[in-house]
Amino acid sequence: MDIDQNILNDLIKCPLHPAAPNELRRCNHVFFVGGELPINETLETMFESFCTESTELFHLSFGTMSSFKNSEEMARQIKKNFNIRLMGRLNDPVSVQVLERIYAVGVDILDIPLRIFDHAAARKLDYDREACYSALLAARTFFPRWSVASTLLAGEESPLSTMNGIDELLKDGIVPLVALAESSADVAPDTLAVIFKHLASGWEKHRVQIQPFLPLISFMTPLTQKQPPGLLRGMIGKFHDRRHLVASDLRRHLRLKSAEDSMDSASL
């Protein structure tokens, strides 16, 4: 992938981030949905927008645990009513039981932002980095390969630390994503470009399936595909992506059915 310098400059001036848990908005082909929003009214708005504009990814921001049931039901209804990949985002680490419920309700890919890789910087910002990483490793055990991601914020720590974080996440089978922090304006554009080049190189080296993330990548980063796919290649790519999504749904169904059968056999 290449770096679009104009997009990078625009992102430095105005970094783009997913919607808050109480916000609903569309950005390009990504529909950002807040998990704390009223379900029926939100679905009605989504239906209207979905019928008029192309959507490639639903991005659901889960709220706090006090509103988790609403976010969970929102995910269930999105998966039930739309045949589009659903990405969930947790702002804080949660228990394994909650992660399993998120997977069971239909979330296809999950982002638990690490934000900062450096331990000292994380402590300074009062952020429990260890708990976040533990949640990422736990989610990876039942989500499909390369379906658990973590966002790092370029500009919140040294560029070297961010790149080390990219390498560590890839080594553990977690998809690293990079967004620009507000403080990235204090970092030289060339330095930020190096971080994104390192990110793209890491994806390629580890053969990460980034197709599901492309709508988000094109929105939040200056990375662009070297050769935009032609009509035929684009159709083939969408076919393979759809097949991957169907396989993921089947895998979830079989896993949940197996768990239900085990409980039935144990008379639970």
Once rounded to an integer, what is the mean pLDDT over residues 199-216? 94
What CATH number is attached to the domain comprising 147? Answer: 3.20.20.70
| 78 and 148 both lie in a single domain | yes
| 81 and 172 both lie in a single domain | yes
Once rounded to an integer, what is the mean pLDDT over residues 76-82? 92
Domain range for 159: 2-226
CB neighbourhood size of 46 (10 A): 20
State pTM to two decimals.
Answer: 0.85
| 82 and 195 both lie in a single domain | yes
What pLDDT digit, counting tens, does each position of 113-135 carry?
Answer: 999 998 777 676 667 888 999 99
At 18, the pLDDT band (50, 70, 90 cuts) reads confident
Q: How far is CA 80 from the centre of its chain?
A: 20
What pLDDT digit, counting tens, does each position of 164-182 carry?
Answer: 999 999 999 999 999 999 8
At 154, the pLDDT band (50, 70, 90 cuts) reads very high
216: left (phi over 0), alpha (psi -120 to 50) or beta: alpha
| 74 and 188 both lie in a single domain | yes
Q: DSSP secondary structure string, 201-227?
A: HHHHHTT---GGGHHHHHHHSSEE-SS
Distance of alpha carbon 213 from alpha carbon 129, whole angstroms: 23
At 259, the pLDDT band (50, 70, 90 cuts) reads very low
Per-residue pLDDT at 266: 47
| 186 and 257 both lie in a single domain | no
